[in-house]
Structure 1
Amino acid sequence: MPVAVSLVTGLLGAGKSTVVQALLAHKPPGEKWAIFVNEVGAVGIDGAALSAAADADQQGGGGCGGGGEIVVKELAGGCMCCSAAGVTQAAIATLLRRSRPTRLIIEMSGLGHPGSVLDALQKPPLGDSVEVMGTMCVLDPEFVFRDNIADDEQSVVDSPLFVNQVAASDVVLVNARTDAYRDALSTWHATLWPPKSLVSTEQRGTAVPSRLLDQLASDEHGKLASLATQVDADTYADTHTSYELTRVSAPGGHPRVLIGRTRHAGDGSLTYSIGLVYHREDIFDRTRLAEFMNTVLSTRDEVTRVLRAKAVMRTGTTAWSLAAVSGSASSEGETAEITLDSSAYRRDSRLEILVRQRGGCGDDDDDDDDGRQDETSLPALDMLIEDDSIALAPGDARDALLRHDWTALVASARSCVRL
C-alpha cells in the first residue's frame, strides 16, 4: 500500500512547524508517521524542534495519538525544489525504506516552490511508493494582508512565490492571531481558482482542527464549485440545479463532467456552469488549448454569451499552464487575448465555462425553439466517456456552446489533448 503524503508549504514565519507539531496530536493510534523537514539554512532548527516535541509526546504517552512512532528527518542547506532536488528524492526514498511509515508529512522551506516537489512525488521512482493525499498552504493573514506596503514594493499576496504556494494547495490554513483581516481574507479567498478549502487554526496554530487530515485526503476539494451563484450573488436566483454526469476521469481526454444551471428571477435568464476535470496524465497542446479558449471566450450571439472561462491544464511533462484572459471580446467576431501562464497546480487539469442565455428562449426541460439543447442532451454525456468516435476541433466549441450541446463541447475540448 502506498504511503500517504501530505505537503505543508507557506512563507517564512507563517507557522508551518507549529502546525505540523499540532497535527501530531491527531495521529491515529498505532500509526507510524514520518516528518521530512527542509531548511534552507545550513543549521537546521525546525527539525530539531519537531524531534524534541515528538520525543516528549511519545515519552508522555498519548500526546501523539496514544501509540505508534514518529520519525523526523531534516534536510538543511538547500531548497528541496531546486539546488537540493536530487538529494531530497534520495533522502525521502531512504526515509521511506528504513522507517516504512503510514503517513509522510513534508514541511517545505518558506522559499520553496511546491510544483517541482509534487512532480517528483507523483512520478517514478517515488510515485511508485507514495500517494499525495493533499497539499496545505499555511498563511499568516497579518503578514500577507498588511497595509503598510511601500509604493516600490510588491504586495505579498501578488508575489510569485506566494501565488505558487497557494496555487499548489488544496487547503489554505489560516494561522491567525486575531480576526482583524477576516474581510480581506474572505475577499481574496473568493478569487482563488481552482477553489481552495479554507480552514482556521486556534491560538496561532497550536490547535489545528482534527478534521484537517481528513480534508487533505478528501475528494471534496477536487470538485468544481458552480460559479453561477458566485457571479450572480447580487441577482436573486429562482432555482439552481446541478448535474454531475460523470464521476471517473481517465487518461485519454475523458473528463469528469459537472453541469450547473441557474434560472434568475425577474428576466428568466439562465446561467450554465460547465466543469470538466481531466486526469493529471492528460497533456494538452498549448496551441490548440489557446485556440479553444479564444473560441470559447469569443462565443456570443443575440441569445447566448460566454461570461467567463478558466482553465488550468497540464501542457508538458512538468509544465502546467493557467489560461489567463488579458482582454475579452466585446462583440461577435472579435477574439479574446489568451495567455498561458505557468502554474504550480498539480492535482488535475480542469476547465470551467460560464454561459448566460437571456430569458424567454424556451421551456426548461425541452429543446429551445432555436435548436439549443437543454437537459434533454445531458444523458448523452454518459456515453461520451466510452466513445472516441466524435472528432471535433478546438474551433468547434463556439457552435457547441451556442447550441448548448455539451457532448460536442466535451469532444471539442478533447481535441486539445495530445493522444
Structure 2
Amino acid sequence: MVDVYLFSGFLGSGKTTLLKNMLIQVKEAGLKPAVFMNELGELAIDSDEVEDGVPLKELLDGCICCTGSEKSEAQIQTLLAEEEFDVLLIETTGAAHPVEALDAIFSPLFAEKLNFRGIVTVADSKRWLDRDRMSPQIRSLFLEQIRHADLILANKMDLLTDKEQGEVVFGIQALNSEARIVQTSGAKIPYKLMETLSTGPKESVETAEIGKLNLNTRVFRFAEPVKREVFEQWLRNLPETVYRIKGYVPLEGDKYPHAFQYAYGMAQWLPEYMKMQPQIVVIGEGIDGVELP
C-alpha cells in the first residue's frame, strides 16, 4: 500500500515549501515519492517546484474538494496505474476544506491501495494573529483547515516575538487539542515526524467539545448482490458520524453495479453500464462497528 499525506493550509502558508522539503527527505529515506497537486488557476505555477523524476499529476483551474472531485480521482487512478511509488504527497489549494478534499481522494476504484496517514496543515502564524480581520468566510475556512488537522505546523514563527509565538500556540491548541503542534520557520519538519501519524482511533476522547473529526475510512466489498430496500434500510440505521459513502453497489436483478453517493443523510443512485468493482468507501468517525447488511 502507498502511504498518503494530505497537505492543507490557507493561501501562502507554506504548503509548497513543505512539499519540497518532504520530497528531499522521502528520497533520502530510500522511498520513492509521487505528487498530486491542485491549483486554482490554469497555470501550473507551484508544480514547477517539483523536480524532474518525481511522478506528478495536477488538477488545474478547479478545486479537489468540489467541482474537480471526479477529475482528481481520474488523475490519481492514472498515477497509480502508470507509476510505482511508496509515498503520495497531496497538496491542496489554499481554498480547499481538508475534509472535502479527503473525500475526493478516496475513490472506491483505488482506496484499497492507499494507506491514509493524516492531514498536515500549515498555519500562517501571522495570519492567525490577524484572523479577526478576515471576512467571515475566509476566517471560517482558515479555522476549519486547522481544526481538522492531525499535525499542525505553526509556520513563520521567525516573524513573531516570543509573546506572539506563545499566543499562537495556545490559541491553536485551544482550537484543536488532538493534533500535535510544531513551531516552524520555512515549514521545516523531519519526515519521521509525519511517519508517526495515524488516523486510527485516539486513546482519549475527552476533548469531544472541540469538534475534532477523527476521520476513518473503510472499504467494503460485496460478495453478492443486495436488495435495494435492505441496503437503504441499512443506510437509515447508520450512525450520524458516517459522513460520506461512495462506490458501486450490486443490486439484485441488475446486470451492473449502480454508482452510489451518500452524504448528510442523502443517497443518490446512478445507473452504470460497465462492470465496476462492487465496493464502497465509507468515511466518518468511530465507524469500526459499521458492517454491510
Partner of 1:191: 174
Structure whose alpha-carbon radius of gyration is higher: 1
Partner of 2:23: 24
Distance in 2 (CA, whole Å) between partners of 1:37 and 1:80 is: 9
1:128 is aligned with what amino acid? Answer: E
Distance in 2 (CA, whole Å) between partners of 1:93 and 1:165 is: 26
Question: Residue by residue, what CA displacement relative to the aligned partner does 1:273-329 show, whole Å, maximum 9, x if unpaired?
Answer: xxxx8965599979986xxxxxxxxxxxxxxxxxxxxxxx225535479xxxxxxxx
Question: Residue by residue, what CA displacement relative to the aligned partner does 1:212-236 show, whole Å, maximum 9, x if unpaired?
Answer: 32233486x8332655xxxxxxxxx
Distance in 2 (CA, whole Å) between partners of 1:39 and 1:196 is: 26
Distance in 2 (CA, whole Å) between partners of 1:285 and 1:84 is: 29
Q: Which runs of 5+ in 2 are unaligned?
A: 208-213, 221-233, 246-261, 266-282
Partner of 2:41: 41
Query: C-alpha root-mean-square deviation of aligned residues, in Å?
Result: 3.7
Question: Residue by residue, what CA displacement relative to the aligned partner does 1:43-82 show, whole Å, maximum 9, x if unpaired?
Answer: 11000122xxx24xxxxxxxxxxxxx62233221111111
Is residue 213 from structure 1 mapped to residue 194 from structure 2 by the alignment?
yes
Is the 8 Å Cα contact of residues 120 and 126 (structure 1) preserved in structure 2? no
Q: What is the DSSP-based 3-state SS (H/G/I as helix, E as strand, rest coil) of the residue aligned with 1:17?
A: helix
Partner of 2:165: 182
- Distance apart, 1:133 and its partner CA: 1.1
Partner of 2:230: none
Q: What is the DSSP-based 3-state SS (H/G/I as helix, E as strand, rest coil) of the residue aligned with 2:196?
A: helix
Is the 8 Å Cα contact of residues 4 and 114 (structure 2) preserved in structure 1? yes
1:211 is aligned with what amino acid? Answer: K
The structure with higher relative contact order (CA 8 Å, sep 6+) is 2
Partner of 1:166: 146
Partner of 2:286: 349
Is the 8 Å Cα contact of residues 34 and 71 (structure 1) preserved in structure 2? yes
Q: What is the DSSP-based 3-state SS (H/G/I as helix, E as strand, rest coil) of the residue aligned with 1:5?
A: strand
2:22 is aligned with what amino acid? Answer: L
Q: Using a 3 Å threshold, how does the CA distance of structure 1 residues 211 and 123 change in structure 2: closer, same or farther?
A: same
Distance in 2 (CA, whole Å) between partners of 1:149 and 1:155 is: 11
Q: Which runs of 5+ in 1 are unaligned?
A: 56-68, 228-276, 290-312, 322-345, 351-384, 386-413
Q: Using a 3 Å threshold, how does the CA distance of structure 1 residues 17 and 23 change in structure 2: closer, same or farther?
A: same
Distance in 2 (CA, whole Å) between partners of 1:316 and 1:192 is: 24
Question: Residue by residue, what CA displacement relative to the aligned partner does 1:315-369 show, whole Å, maximum 9, x if unpaired?
Answer: 5535479xxxxxxxxxxxxxxxxxxxxxxxx66339xxxxxxxxxxxxxxxxxxx
Is residue 314 from structure 1 mapped to residue 251 from structure 2 by the alignment?
no
Moved over 6 A (4+): 282-289, 416-419
- Distance apart, 1:40 and its partner CA: 0.5
In the comparison of the two structures, how many residue pairs are matched? 238
Distance in 2 (CA, whole Å) between partners of 1:95 and 1:209 is: 26
- How many percent of aligned residue pairs carry the same amino acid? 25
Question: Residue by residue, what CA displacement relative to the aligned partner does 1:133-171 show, whole Å, maximum 9, x if unpaired?
Answer: 111111111012227728xx4385xx3322332233211
Q: Using a 3 Å threshold, how does the CA distance of structure 1 residues 147 and 111 change in structure 2: closer, same or farther?
A: closer
Is residue 146 from structure 1 mapped to residue 130 from structure 2 by the alignment?
yes
